[in-house]
Amino acid sequence: DAKVLVGPTKERLDIKVAMSNSFGFGGHNSSILFAPYK
C-alpha cells in the first residue's frame, strides 16, 4: 500500500500493476507491465 498524490491531497490506492513506456526514433516503441507473480 502506498500513498499517492492525486490532486491536492494524498490518497491510499491499491496499485496492482505498473507500466513503463519507451518511445524511440523510427517507430521503435515498447511497453512493459510489472505485476507480482501469483
What pLDDT is recorded for position 14?
84
The total number of structural domains that make up the chain: 1
User: Rounded to a whole number, what is the largest CA-CA distance in the chain?
Assistant: 40
How confident is residue 11, by pLDDT bands cut at 50, 70 and 90? Answer: confident
Residue 1 has pLDDT above 90, yes or no: no
Mean pLDDT, the chain, whole residue set: 85
- For the chain, what is the radius of gyration of the CA atoms? 15
Structural domain including 30 reads: 2-34
What pLDDT is recorded for position 23?
94
